[in-house]
Structures are given as C-alpha cells and as structure tokens.
Amino acid sequence: MARNLFRFAQAAACAVAMGLPGCGIPTSGPRGEAIEWRAATHVRSAERLPYCLVSVTPRVAEIAASHQYRLAGQFTDRRGPTIVQIGNGDVISVTLFESAAGGLFFPLEGGLRNGNFLTLPPQIVDEKGTITVPYAGAIRATGRTAQQIQDAIVDALKGRALEPQAVVTVVERRNAMISVIGEVNSAVRFPASVSGERVLDAIARAGGIKSQGQDSWVLLERHKKIAVTPFEAIVHEMDNNIFVQPQDTIYVYKEPQTFLAFGAAGHQGQVAFEAWRLTLAEGLAKAGGLLDERAEPGWVFLYRAERRRVAEELSCDCSFNEGPYVPVIYEIDLRDPSTLFLATHFPMRNKDVIYISNARSVESTKFLTYVRLMNATIQDPVNTAVSAYILKNLINGTNTSAVAISGTPIITTTTTAP
C-alpha cells in the first residue's frame, strides 16, 4: 500500500515536471552564437527567414550614413525651373500689332495709326495643345514658352499683315502647378515661376507644418519618382532644400520615429527617437544601456530591413531574397573601446530593433536554477505524501518512520499494542 502511494506521488511529480513549458532554459532571445552560426552556415528553409550578418566597421558606418533618407542625391537636377512651358488647360491672351493701317487687321480708311493693335479674347489651350489666331490658324502652344508662341504667330502672319508683331500673356496657369498637401496648415496649389522656389518656400506657401518638426516627414513626388526625408533634415541640411519643379507634389505627414529594444537592455519595449536623427550609441542609452549582470557587450545586434542596393554595397549575399529589401543584422562588439566611436556615428532608422544577448555565465546560472526548480518540483509532492502517510499512522496509533534509500523513501511500520 505504502509503495503504491509513493509510486503515485512520484508519477504525479514527473507529470508536473514534464508539463513545464519547453525543455530548454528560459531566455529573452537568441544566443549570440546562434545568430553568428546561422549567418555563417547560411541555414535556409521554408520556416526560417535568411539574413545577412554584417560587423560594424568604419566602412560599414560610412555606407549606412550615406544612405539615409534624404532629398539630396535622389534628384540629380537641383536647379530652378529656368523655363516654364505652357500646357493643356492654360489660359493665354494674344495681342496682335501692325505697323500701319491698310493691313490685315486695320483697314486703310481707318487712317494712319502707329501702333495699331488688337487684343483677342483669352483662350484655353485645348486638348490638342493649340490655340486659334485669326488668319494664322491653329498655333501649337503646349510645350512652348510665351516667346516661342509669339514667334510662331508672327511667322504665320508674315506676308499677310504689315510687319506683324504679337504679345502672348499667360492669364491663368493650370498646367505647370506645384501641390503641397498633408499635415500643413493650408493645402495649396500654385503655379511654378522662373524665379524658382525651394521645398521650404513651397511649404511656407501652405502655411507651414502643423506638428513638431521632429515627427514630420516630407515626401516629394516628381515624374513618378518618390523621395522621403525628415522635415528637419531639410531645415538643418540645406542640400536637401532643393528647387521644386512644375508638376511636383509635396506631401507632409506625421510619423513619430521609434525603435524596439529586447534582450539584456535596461529598458525593453518601444522607444521613441524624440529627435529627427539618432545614433546607435544614443539609442542604446535611451534603452537603458546594457545590464551589468546579464549583458554580453560583444553581442549587440541591430536588426534592419535594408534596401537592396545598400545590402549589395555591404557585400551581402542577396541571392536568397529577390525583393527590394534584404534582412540585415548589424553586429557591434562593445568590448572593443574603439567601437564606441563607431556607435556614435552609426545612424539608426525608424523601426530598427536592438537586441542585446545574454552572457554565457548568465545561461549557466539559469541552468543551475532550472535544475533546482525541477528537483524541488519532483521532491515536494513525494515529501508531502510521506508526511501525510506518517500523520495518518500516528493518528491510528501506529509508529511509522521513513528512511530514504537512493532517494526513494521507505516507510517502516511498527504496531503498538494497546
């Protein structure tokens, strides 16, 4: 009976132990060796996302800094619009001049009138890109400047009018427009001018931005090409304050920049930049730094979905990924004093992930703690059962003693005569 009871207690304890989640040691993320091993052996499968591991060096930091989100470098032509052409939908006015009466537009009986002129009603450049001038017919206007239209009209009237001259004026420009929309105080659409206006000038026309500059982004779309930059990058780095061009669209939007911190960091979770730019050293400081009792300074990793051309410049093997972005893990060894200088120059990006791996000694301590927990989980139910059995026999007047042999309690019972 006693042995059956103990066997039941042991089975129950084993069931509790086996029911503990997982067989490994609890941890907050992958070990540093695991990250390095998978990158070195190129372990690939349908269940795992392959990545590229890059050690942060001065060259790597320079490449990362040179590929920040900026307008400068995205658009090679940063000049102002020296020529603003007329397009479909524009409204223009034409004034015709003849040197004397008796010509095409002024009859002889009208007398000699120097500077005779005739102003035609304003015209909209039609879908064919033309306007109509009496006796000159259809004149192409789209893709031309006002001076070029004037020359075309004069050429068409030569031989019919007396020393004809023409003046073309743009009454309303509807084609060469610049739009500013989004998180601005007053969205606006205004015509481009040959004097040239820059991005900040265009935003000023819209009444400025609504929110704080550190959380604002500027998107510039030009000829189906898009570039994005933080608003303050335009303010502080004047190379980004490029000239706007006809048909440009500027979209201002708000998106606070954040990153995630995991592992042996002082503060885990989402952390706000609270600035328009942040370095890795500043990011580690915002995350509470490395925990002395847990962190391995040689295993600090930054996860980022890097643009393909940047990954190729970093000499990554991009054959495993055909998309525009490649998963890259940057590794930095803070045991080397010089890498702290690199960390102050390595730029962080919105939605980056910082992971700090535990030290090997921490894993050993966790293992010993886990062994003690397992041992207590198995022994406690057995000890409780033994105590309950002894208490029962004492109540019944039976002397009971328990002796443990090889870890298995053996109960001996002596019946006391009444």
Could you write out the DSSP letters of every residue in 35-63?
HHHHHHHT--BTTB---EEEE--HHHHHH
Same domain, residue pair 226 and 209: yes
**Does residue 81 lie within any of the structural domains?**
no
* CATH code: domain of residue 233: 3.10.560.10
Per-residue pLDDT band at 10 (split at 50, 70, 90): very low
Same domain, residue pair 250 and 181: yes
219-254 tens-digit pLDDT? 999 988 999 999 999 999 988 999 999 999 999 999
Same domain, residue pair 182 and 162: no
Cα angle vertex 360, ends 355, 366, to 5°?
95
- Final residue before a domain boundary, out of 219, 254, 289: 254
Same domain, residue pair 103 and 158: yes
163-191 tens-digit pLDDT? 899 999 999 988 889 999 999 999 999 99
User: Taking Cα atoms as reference points, which of 357, 316, 313, 311 lies closest to residue 333?
Assistant: 357
What's the pLDDT score for residue 248? 94
The total of structural domains in the chain comes to: 4
Beta strands in 267-361 (DSSP E): 269-272, 295-307, 325-332, 353-358
Per-residue pLDDT band at 13 (split at 50, 70, 90): very low
Does 65 have pLDDT greater than 50? yes
Same domain, residue pair 134 and 203: no
**Does residue 401 lie within any of the structural domains?**
yes
Domain, as residue range, for 125: 91-172
**Does residue 271 lie within any of the structural domains?**
no
* CATH code: domain of residue 134: 3.30.1950.10
Q: Which amino acid would we find at residue 238? A: M
Q: Provide the whole-model pTM.
A: 0.70
Same domain, residue pair 330 and 384: no
Per-residue pLDDT band at 24 (split at 50, 70, 90): low
What's the pLDDT score for residue 9? 44
**Does residue 200 lie within any of the structural domains?**
yes
